[in-house]
Amino acid sequence: MKINIAQLKKELGGTQTFSFQTSVDELALNQREEAWTDNVLVDGVVTNKGTYYEVTGTIHATLQESCSRCLESVVSVLTIPFSEKIRETGLEETGEDSEFEFSCFTGDEMEITDLIRENILLAKPLKPVCSENCRGLCPECGANLNISTCGCNPIKIDPRLAVLEKLLSKD
């Protein structure tokens, strides 16, 4: 995904909007076990800040994966805001810019594919769940506890401490 900023280079403080629809193949997201269900949509604005360009926007992506507790299918709709400072290669760094880390580009086009991929991977849920109160699977029999209960004893007592249980019983 390239943004042509030839006109924006001439306007200090100017802005330029952009919008892309790209595939997961172009972003190299299809190499993992999740299933990206739709194309990825990217909307944003590039602002000429003088010594650098600020790229801000929003990424919209849909991901289908398995719940980490019960293994049921979960569809996650991701809306990811992003902001990045990009400098043209060869420009001098000013004192006020030295505290920022910049990506670089050359010429009249900015390549933002890596920026989009990184933001998607960082925003993707580590442990997706179908709902906050998902009960998961029974560790003994594997039954989905959201659908039914099982006959397994949920309380397991360590055999080394079983003698202490007698103290709690009132005979």
What the block records as the tokens of 28 is: 């190299």
- Between the ranges 27-31, 35-39, 56-60, 119-123, where is the mean pLDDT highest? 56-60
Q: Of all helices (H) and strands (E), which one includes residue 57?
A: strand 53-66
Query: From CA 85, how far away is CA 165, in angstroms rounded?
Result: 63
95 confidence band (pLDDT: 50, 70, 90):
very low
Is the alpha carbon torsion for 32, 38, 39, 40 positive or negative? negative
Global confidence as pTM: 0.74
> Is residue 45 scored above 90 in pLDDT?
yes
